[in-house]
Amino acid sequence: MKVTISIFILLFVAHNIQAEDGHELWLRGKSTGSVNVVCSKSSPTINIAKLELQQCWRGETGASVILTIKQDKLIKSDGFKLSTEGIQANTDLGILYGVYELLRRQQIEETVKMEIVNPSYELRLLNHWDNLNGSIERGYAGYSIFWRKGKDAFDVTEKDKVLWKEYARANASIGINGAVLDNVNASPLMLTVEYLERVKAIAEVLRPYGIKTYLSVKFSSPSLIGRLKTSDPSDPKVIEWWNSKVKEIYKIIPDFGGFLIKANSEGQPGPQDFGRTHADGANMLADALKPFGGIVMWRAFVYKTSDEDRAKQAYSEFMPLDGQFRDNVIIQVKNGPIDFQPREPFSPLFGAMKKTSVMPELQITQEYLGHSIHLVFLASMWEEFLKSDTYQEGEGSTVARCTDGSIFSQTHTAIAGVSNIGLDTNWCGHHFAQANWYAFGRLAWNNKLNSEQIANEWIRLTFYNKLEENNGSITFSDDWLENFLAPIKKMMLESREAAVNYMMPLGLHHIFAANEHYGPGPWWAPKGMRKDWTPPYYHQASKDGIGFDRTSSGSNAVSQYHEPLKSQYSDPKTCPDELLLWFHHLPWNFQMKDERSLWDEMCYRYDEGLQQVRKFQKLWDQVQSYVDSERFIHVQNKLSEQSVNAQVWKDACILYFQQFSEMPIPYYIEPTVNSLEDIIEADKKRLGR
């Protein structure tokens, strides 16, 4: 009887929470509250600010808010002054950002007091890896919101404009102020008139929200579309071609932001094809953009087939060029030295390039973290990265401070995140993947925020029960805070470590299945394949042990880190367990700090990851009554898939590595359930072999 009543109550409550498809992101619905906005100015941006206040006001009903544009030296770039009376800023955009901050605080019940809020980075950009045919490289949420193929590829429809506006609004609400619209593996067609005209249309929608458009360009465009014999950056005709192309772009898009370039990397053309350096290439483009205020973001993601450890190559290539770049060039460096792995140490270029503007590149789309299937909250990873101490200018030289202008007087400060946005109704494929878009924006605005604060904000905004609003204002009940917010926040904060555990614990990296980078593939090494594209290159498992020796007896990648990190990483006793096999090749019976053998510890962590996901499943089931049924079921299904996949990861890795360790699986972990042969067979099938 009791059970029936409980089920009935549950169904009744769940039924009363309106179904939501997630399209509104963290900006859910209008409020019924009213406000009197006092502002003498009118402009497209200010008008948006006023409208947002009127439609989403959740403060005292009938209160007044004064918006003032007045110069104040303490307010920097897009910053603003918040007070109980209203918002003051130097620019219209500052007002808009202030409005979003005020509205967010009202919604999450955070107090508003007199305070100046300045952004950490001047440029806060999304990088879209969107191809011109509408597909998205490493995109897991449908096709591109900007590009499509077919007869209507260049039509700018009302539907397009509505979507671009929603996109712009969401970005502005978290402080993002730039978007690179196309894939870094760029098509030369991007610079042709039809595509530039479409960029113009996109830019018009994005502009009032403060979002500038940027483009990835192909370095060989002069020969590919300009019919020149070469794309050599020192050739006068090539220089002239880029100069006139840039002029043409600014005529079409007057506030164009600049170029992002992937050069001499993974088969992309670049200045080295002509015996020139990265600096020669970047500077040539920077000179073309300079008269218009444009910038070049030149990626340091470079590695070749060579005997040099891949993790060392970007540093070796770029350090000698420090100081040679124009002041409108920013070197864009991925957070880790290899490639957006579940865990990497920070790239040693951070803090080491002292005479060049350097910007971090993070990956919001979950290429290596379970696509849009796994629930993995990336703020924890980014917080770990931004707070990493490089020691380059003494203790406290964190990556955040080395890139935001606190330590080096960079001409430009910037941060980029590879977008996880597509045409899926909920934008990101997984409702919880929206949290990563949100977190990126919030950290780009304030690189000191911690992941707990961000999760706390996002959960409140995304899951508060709209029915509980009273005259526009929201009061979270103790029940909601204790039984929904607290456990969900805990789950989010644990989720990244769980993924590391069931995929690559203890510093293991890049042992993914080929191409898709989704499941496990530590065995994958076809004959003739570039060795740095195969997992055995990274895990180096053999009968004598496992891990990549990057100490002085190995590749000596440790030497690229500043002391005391170099010594700390060099010694397995002081190297953090989390990075142990990144820096060391160790015997299977190596004794860990907790006295387990390395083999036992590895098995334990793989199992722990799986248990964590199962815990997330149970937890989600327990919060059913707090979530609308549409989003509840969606997430429930995703978690169930994640759990099956975590089991595959665990079984595949334990059984594969056991062939080398020849040690028993510890009695205290749950036995494996899949056979290695079956997993490898399924992987071969996937690859069509």
Q: Is 137 in the site for ligand GCV (CB under 6 A)?
A: yes
Size of the site for ligand GCV (CB under 6 A): 9
Interface pick for ligand GCV out of 81, 104, 128, 138 (rule CB under 6 A) = 138
Strands (E), 128-246: 178-180, 212-216
CB of 137 to ligand GCV, least distance (A): 5
Interface pick for ligand GCV out of 185, 473, 591, 625 (rule CB under 6 A) = 185
- DSSP bridge pairs for 331: 298, 358
What is the contact mask toward ligand GCV in residues 339 to 368, using x (rule: CB under 6 A)?
x-----------------------------
Task: Kindly state the helix (H) or strand (E) to which residue 298 belongs, with its residue range.
Answer: strand 295-299
CB of 447 to ligand GCV, least distance (A): 22
CB of 144 to ligand GCV, least distance (A): 14
Q: What is d(CA 539, CA 341) in angstroms, rounded to the nearest whole number?
A: 13
Kind of pairing between the strands at 414-418 and 178-180:
unpaired
**Which contacts of 567-574 are long-range, i.e. CB under 8 A and separated by 24 or more positions?**
569/345
CB of 334 to ligand GCV, least distance (A): 7
Q: What is d(CA 476, CA 469) in angstroms, rounded to the nearest whole number?
A: 9
Cis ω before 564 (30° cut-off from 0)? yes
What residues contact residue 632 under an 8 Å CB cut-off, 6+ apart? 14, 620, 624
Q: Is 669 in the site for ligand GCV (CB under 6 A)?
A: no
Say which residue the tokens 């815990």 belong to.
Answer: 615
- Quick one: 182 or 404, whose CB is closer to ligand GCV? 182
Q: What is d(CA 538, CA 508) in angstroms, rounded to the nearest whole number?
A: 8
Q: Specify the amino acid at residue 621.
A: D
Q: Is 146 in the site for ligand GCV (CB under 6 A)?
A: no
Q: Is 301 in the site for ligand GCV (CB under 6 A)?
A: yes
- Quick one: 67 or 136, whose CB is closer to ligand GCV? 136
Closest by CA to 342, choosing from 581, 103, 168, is: 581
Q: Is 512 in the site for ligand GCV (CB under 6 A)?
A: no
Please provide the size of the chain in residues. Answer: 689
Q: Is 276 in the site for ligand GCV (CB under 6 A)?
A: no
Q: Is 310 in the site for ligand GCV (CB under 6 A)?
A: no
- Quick one: 288 or 314, whose CB is closer to ligand GCV? 314
CB of 539 to ligand GCV, least distance (A): 18
How many distinct helices (H) and strands (E) make up the chain? 21, 13
- Quick one: 45 or 131, whose CB is closer to ligand GCV? 131
> Is 24 a residue of the active site?
no
CB of 133 to ligand GCV, least distance (A): 15
Interface pick for ligand GCV out of 26, 97, 121, 129 (rule CB under 6 A) = 129
Q: Is 538 in the site for ligand GCV (CB under 6 A)?
A: no
Q: What is d(CA 501, CA 311) in angstroms, rounded to the nearest whole number?
A: 22
> Is 384 a residue of the active site?
no
Q: Is 509 in the site for ligand GCV (CB under 6 A)?
A: no
Q: What is d(CA 582, CA 485) in angstroms, rounded to the nearest whole number?
A: 35
Closest by CA to 350, choosing from 340, 338, 360, is: 360
Q: Is 432 in the site for ligand GCV (CB under 6 A)?
A: no
Distance from the Cα of residue 552 to its chain's centroid? 33
Q: Is 262 in the site for ligand GCV (CB under 6 A)?
A: yes
Q: What is d(CA 39, CA 573) in angstroms, rounded to the nearest whole number?
A: 62
Interface pick for ligand GCV out of 132, 184, 211, 579 (rule CB under 6 A) = 184
Q: Is 502 in the site for ligand GCV (CB under 6 A)?
A: no
- Quick one: 65 or 378, whose CB is closer to ligand GCV? 378
CB of 367 to ligand GCV, least distance (A): 6
Q: Is 302 in the site for ligand GCV (CB under 6 A)?
A: no
Burial 244-253 (b: 16+ CB within 10 A, else e): ebbeebbeeb
CB of 301 to ligand GCV, least distance (A): 5
Q: What is d(CA 550, CA 579) in angstroms, rounded to the nearest whole number?
A: 11
Q: What is d(CA 52, CA 99) in angstroms, rounded to the nearest whole number?
A: 8
- Quick one: 335 or 380, whose CB is closer to ligand GCV? 335
Q: Is 556 in the site for ligand GCV (CB under 6 A)?
A: no
CB of 420 to ligand GCV, least distance (A): 14
Cα radius of gyration rounded to whole Å, the chain? 26
Q: What is d(CA 456, CA 489) in angstroms, rounded to the nearest whole number?
A: 7
- Quick one: 50 or 138, whose CB is closer to ligand GCV? 138
CA distances from 308 to 40, 531, 556, 567 (A): 62, 12, 10, 21
Q: Is 135 in the site for ligand GCV (CB under 6 A)?
A: no
What residues contact residue 130 under an 8 Å CB cut-off, 6+ apart? 136, 137, 139, 144, 145, 146, 147, 181, 182, 183
- Quick one: 194 or 266, whose CB is closer to ligand GCV? 266
Q: Is 278 in the site for ligand GCV (CB under 6 A)?
A: no
What is the contact mask toward ligand GCV in residues 49 to 88, using x (rule: CB under 6 A)?
----------------------------------------
Question: Per the residue annotation, which of 317, 367, 457, 628 is the catalytic one?
Answer: 367
Give, in degrees to the nearest 5, the angle at Cα 167 between 641 and 214. Answer: 110
> Is 266 a residue of the active site?
yes
| Cα dihedral across residues 253, 258, 262, 268: positive or negative | positive
- Quick one: 310 or 442, whose CB is closer to ligand GCV? 310
Q: What is d(CA 171, CA 124) in angstroms, rounded to the nearest whole number?
A: 10
CB of 514 to ligand GCV, least distance (A): 11
Question: Per the residue annotation, which of 152, 194, 197, 266 is the catalytic one?
Answer: 266
Distance from the Cα of residue 290 to its chain's centroid? 28
Q: What is d(CA 315, CA 331) in angstroms, rounded to the nearest whole number?
A: 12
- Quick one: 340 or 599, whose CB is closer to ligand GCV? 340
Question: Per the residue annotation, which of 339, 389, 424, 494 is the catalytic one?
Answer: 339
CB of 452 to ligand GCV, least distance (A): 29
Q: What is d(CA 283, CA 431) in angstroms, rounded to the nearest whole number?
A: 42
- Quick one: 90 or 372, whose CB is closer to ligand GCV? 372
**Interface positions, 311-340, toward ligand GCV (CB under 6 A):** 339
Q: Is 273 in the site for ligand GCV (CB under 6 A)?
A: no
Q: Which two tokens stand for residue 567?
A: 């010594």
Kind of pairing between the strands at 123-127 and 115-117:
unpaired
- Quick one: 433 or 575, whose CB is closer to ligand GCV? 433
Residues that are catalytic? 266, 339, 367
Interacting residue ranges for ligand GCV, rule: CB under 6 A:
129, 137-138, 184-185, 262, 266, 301, 339
